[in-house]
Amino acid sequence: MFTITRSFEGMILEPERSYLQDNDLRELEQYAHSFTDRLKAYELVRDYADEIVLDALKRLAADYPEQARANKQDKCQYDMTIVLRYMALSMLREDEHFFRDKMIDWLGTVITSSHVRAECADGYTKLYKVISSRLPANRAVMFKPYIDIAIATFKGSLQ
């Protein structure tokens, strides 16, 4: 069964055991209360995703011109676009586990095939800077946990 958040899914899997507890209801209420901001953040990233990714890659190319000249831009753009989509969906769901489940193995494959861990980690640092420059601060910060997961994966400290 698919639910919008993993925690809500856990709450409703066993309705025969009891009603939702007060802390469960507070968590749902908090999720519902913050949904409008997360939805607006999602829409902004969705609507400007190409520009956000290209700006991050332009900043990355300035620091790593040899990789940019090696014509890896298309692959990097594709990878970053996919990761940004999963970040946006995970942020909308408010679900870091979803992002980890969907992206960690794939990011590991990207790392293995590209041999540019530091550059990839730096690319996602730049991606966050672009997001921060394009979105209001209260919405940009919603992407930070997912950026941190990607960076930690590239640095090899998360598996």
Structure confidence at residue 1 as a pLDDT band (50, 70, 90): very low
Please indicate, yes or no, if residue 140 is contained in any of the structural domains: yes
Which of 42, 133, 155, 46 is closest to 95 using CA atoms?
Answer: 42
Helix, coil or strand: residue 15: coil
Tell me: the pLDDT tens digits for 58-106? 999 999 887 777 666 788 899 899 999 999 999 999 999 889 988 877 7
CATH of the domain at 150: 1.10.490.20
Q: Domain range spanning residue 73?
A: 35-155
Q: Averaged over 5-31, what is the pLDDT?
A: 76
Residue 23 domain flag: no
> Is residue 5 domain-resident?
no
Q: Tell me whether residue 46 is in a domain.
A: yes
Which of 59, 48, 119 shows the shortest CA–CA distance to 81? Answer: 48
Average pLDDT over residues 113-127: 82
Q: Reduced to 3 DSSP states, what percent helix, strand and coil does the chain have, rounded to the nearest 5?
A: 80, 0, 20
Cβ distance 60 to 40 under 8 Å? no
DSSP class of residue 157 equals: -
- Whether 45 has a pLDDT exceeding 90, the answer reads yes
Domain count, the chain: 1
Residue 90 located in a structural domain: yes
